[in-house]
Amino acid sequence: MGYPLQGIKVLDLSRVLAGPFAGRMLSDMGADVVKLEPPEGDVTRLWGRKIGGVAGYYHQQNAGKRNISIDLRKEEGVSIAKALASQADVLIENFRPDVMGRLGLSYETLSALNPRLIMLSISGFGANNPDSRRAAYAPVVHAEIGLLARQALISQAFPADIALSVADTNASLHGLVGLLAALYAREQSGHGDHIDLAMVDATVVTNDGMNYALDRVNHIVSNEVYETAAGLLMLAGDFKYVWHQLSTVCGLEDGLPVGEETPLEAKIAARRAAAQYFFNTVCQSREAVITALDKMNIAWGDVRPASDIGELASVQARGTITEVDDRAGGTRPIPQSPYRFRRYQAKVRGGAPHLGEHNREILGDWLSWSEADIDKAHAVLMTGKR
């Protein structure tokens, strides 16, 4: 079983999450992903627990890649980056839209050297508009497109960021779709392309509730967590649906005389009290609660801390968490590639690299440089392990 992207060369200039995550997925599918970092390194090398000299956040997003450390503030460094881009199939970057041009690495410049190059540029608000120069991290996009306001409305709490950098990951995954489409199209045309992908666009199109906002419909489906004899459970569906199933399938009554004069709030309160009584008293065990929910066809999930993810049966069966070399003589857990092919394989292929770890290797096999040329480059441009 081979890898579907075996033989594809990817030059990854990106930082933090949106770009690195896309590069990690390409590596899992067999691409040779070379992460280019400045001498000071990606800031995420400082985030999380360090094992074997590699921080946890960097470890997750850059596993399986090779690394070259180049100072793009130097003319010689830009020349090396151009040489690497001339050999690459894909280049990923997530600077602000004008940075690559100022570095002398615009798509126009690089595609003149390599017409087959496919370049993915991820930014907060996209290129060539009044917001292009704004600094944009995921929480900023979450705020701007209404996710924080929607969450505050549901929780009746002061607006706060959501617990997942969804603007980054959405942009990364949509970037992958664009890259793979461009790779397929290149097989027909022989030409590369430049994908200008904005985090705001990717998150808006992926927001399944955006239709309500665009149509000015005040509709919010709020899934809720219930205290039950089985522990805290998230039930899929708003309370109106849960009550419908409780009353029609399980024959539950709210116990409140209902007439036209009965206030709606009183009806809802009575039904919530009846539901709580059912899940905690009528159902006196976890087995009884789960049996009732399955009978009502209500999807449920345990509210568990992420550190207990290994207890989930599907995670155990699918190997969702795997182990890789921890660079210190042992192994370290990491999320496995999510892709399960029938005829190909996809998997994390090693731990994350040290800064500049593959300098010599990459200059040799990508650019065919001599040992003397590589030594000279190290002395002038690079830091990190050789």
pLDDT digits (tens, 9 = 90+) for 162-209: 989 999 999 999 999 999 999 999 999 999 999 999 999 999 999 988
Contact (Cβ atoms closer than 8 angstroms) between residue 92 and residue 27: no
Q: How far is CA 6 from the centre of its chain?
A: 22
pLDDT tier at 379, thresholds 50, 70, 90? low
Average pLDDT score over residue span 146-171: 92
- The CA distances from residue 60 to 19, 57, 213, 230, 314, in Å, are 13, 5, 35, 33, 21
Q: How many CA atoms lie within 13 A of 64 on its CB side?
A: 26
Q: For residues 308 and 212, which has the higher predicted lDDT (pLDDT)?
A: 308
User: What is d(CA 256, CA 274) in angstroms, rounded to the nearest whole number?
Assistant: 10
| Whether residue 168 lies in the annotated active site | yes
Residues with Cβ within 8 Å of residue 67, at least 6 apart in sequence: 34, 35, 36, 37, 353, 354, 355, 356, 357, 358, 384
- The CA distances from residue 329 to 257, 299, 351, in Å, are 70, 43, 12
Contact (Cβ atoms closer than 8 angstroms) between residue 53 and residue 354: yes
Average pLDDT score over residue span 318-343: 95
pLDDT tier at 54, thresholds 50, 70, 90? very high
pLDDT exceeds 70 at position 381? no
pLDDT exceeds 90 at position 376? no
Pairing of strands 50-51, 90-93: unpaired
Q: What pLDDT does 217 receive?
A: 84
Q: Going edge to edge, which strands form the sheet with 32-37?
A: 66-69, 32-37, 9-12, 90-93, 118-123, 193-198
Give the largest CA-CA distance in the chain.
91
pLDDT exceeds 70 at position 260? no
Give this prediction's pTM.
0.91
User: What is d(CA 176, CA 345) in angstroms, rounded to the nearest whole number?
Assistant: 17
- Which of 45-54, 251-260, 362-371 has the weakest average pLDDT? 251-260
Exactly one of 168, 193, 254, 373 is catalytic; which is it? Answer: 168
Q: What pLDDT does 292 receive?
A: 97
Which domains does the chain show, CATH number per domain? 9-210+319-381 (3.40.50.10540), 224-306 (no CATH)
User: What is d(CA 242, CA 169) in angstroms, rounded to the nearest whole number?
Assistant: 32
pLDDT digits (tens, 9 = 90+) for 67-100: 999 999 999 999 999 999 999 999 999 999 999 9
pLDDT tier at 258, thresholds 50, 70, 90? low
CA-angle at 234, arms to 230 and 237, nearest 5°:
125
Contact (Cβ atoms closer than 8 angstroms) between residue 286 and residue 231: yes
Average pLDDT score over residue span 137-154: 92
